[in-house]
Amino acid sequence: MNDFLLEIEKYLDNEMSLEEKEVFEAKVRADIALAQELKLQKDMRLVYDDEDWAVGNKEVLKNEKEKELTSFFRSDEATALKTSIDEVIADNRSSNKNKRPFFMGIAAAIAVLMTISLFVFKDNSNDKLYAEYIQLDDIPSLITRGEENDKLIEKGQILFENKKYNEAADVFVKYQKEAKSINPLSYIYTGVAYLELDKFDKAINQFDSLARSNTLQSKKSDWYKAMVYLKQNNKELLLQTLSTIVKDKNNFKHLEAQELIRQIK
């Protein structure tokens, strides 16, 4: 590791004496390259934090991108990205056993920063459309009056209605594993819970299960898949799915699909 990187690491780790810190800060003010490297290393520490990976950093998230960043760091894409970074860190640990593996390599740094930048500055023009068309209140209740209801179903719906989507999804998945006969509406609730958490792959899996249920509810699967693609800003798959819906006027959300196609185009 270069001497200036060791100095930066020592400075950021607060391992310098007061005199050393003053000397280093004077060097930063006089050396543009050193100042730029210091900023990069600060940014990298912000992106990768062993404890909570930036989501818990309240100062960073106090701006208009808070919701987007928080949503991203909880998503499947962020999980995959963090796994890739972990592998780079592990490689560095094995080759630098006596040094704290802070500098992750320029390729990894560029990959991370490009991913975050693309996310933060992407076109989110579909956000309002998603909020308009998802219509959470339209999902039929799982709880049937006058009949004995599964306790997990009741708990899951209450959590869902209180927007505790992570807990709700866990409860519904447990219900699906334990129930002898599954209420197909649970696939909608679980899929939408995952969708609200930006766990798109898991949401699609739930809606695929809904399609395979061969019930009246199964006809709704295409619409909810469309909501996944809408939130992902995946225009190609969104239009393909909506086109399937509008082919038959008896399909669920037929008119809404027509209107949404018009707005997307």
- The whole-number pLDDT of residue 4 equals 74
What is the value of pTM for the model shown?
A: 0.56
Among 12-26, 58-72, 114-128, 215-229, where is mean pLDDT lowest?
Answer: 58-72
**C-alpha torsion 168→174→177→183, nearest 10:** -40
- The whole-number pLDDT of residue 53 equals 43
Structure tokens at 171: 């409860």
CB burial of residue 8 (10 Å; 0-12, 13-18, 19+):
buried
Structure tokens at 91: 């490689």
Taking 90 as the threshold, does the pLDDT of residue 108 lie above it?
no
SS (H, E, C) 75-127: CHHHHHHHHHHHHHHHHHHHHCCCCCCCCCCHHHHHHHHHHHHHHHHCCCCCH
Higher-confidence position of 134 and 109 = 134
pLDDT in tens, 127-161: 888 988 998 877 888 876 544 568 888 899 999 99
Task: Give the torsion sign (CA, 134, 199, 192, 220).
Answer: positive
pLDDT in tens, 194-206: 999 999 999 999 9
Structure tokens at 238: 């969104």
Question: Cα 216 to chain center, whole Å?
Answer: 31
- The whole-number pLDDT of residue 32 equals 86
Taking 90 as the threshold, does the pLDDT of residue 190 lie above it?
yes
CA distance 122 to 68: 10
CA distance 12 to 37: 12
- The whole-number pLDDT of residue 56 equals 45
Tell me what the mean pLDDT of segment 11-19 comes to: 89
- The whole-number pLDDT of residue 171 equals 95
With bands split at pLDDT 50, 70 and 90, how would you rate the model's confidence at 59? Answer: very low
- The whole-number pLDDT of residue 68 equals 57
Structure tokens at 181: 């006969």
Taking 90 as the threshold, does the pLDDT of residue 250 lie above it?
yes
Higher-confidence position of 120 and 208 = 208
One-letter amino acid identity for 51? E
Question: Cα 209 to chain center, whole Å?
Answer: 22
